[in-house]
Amino acid sequence: MQTTASKRESGTTHSHGIVYRTACRNPGCEFEFDLRITPENSSILSGLMACPHCKRRGGQLKSQGRVSEKLFAAKLLFRTTGAGATE
What is the domain count for the chain? 1
Asked if residue 83 is part of any domain, the answer here is: no
Q: Is the dihedral of CA 37, 40, 41, 45 positive or negative?
A: positive
Asked, for residue 64, whether it belongs to a domain, the answer is yes
Q: Is the pLDDT of residue 7 over 60?
A: no
Specify if 85 maps to a domain.
no
DSSP line for 15-83: -SSEEEEEEE-STTT--EEEEEE-GGGGGGGTSEE--TTT----EEEEEEEEEETTEEEEEEE----S-
For 53-80, write each residue's pLDDT tens digit: 999 999 999 989 999 888 999 999 988 8
- Domain range for 38 is 5-77
- Would you call 6 helix, strand, or coil by DSSP? strand
pLDDT single digits (tens) 12-49:
444 588 999 999 999 889 999 999 999 998 888 888 99
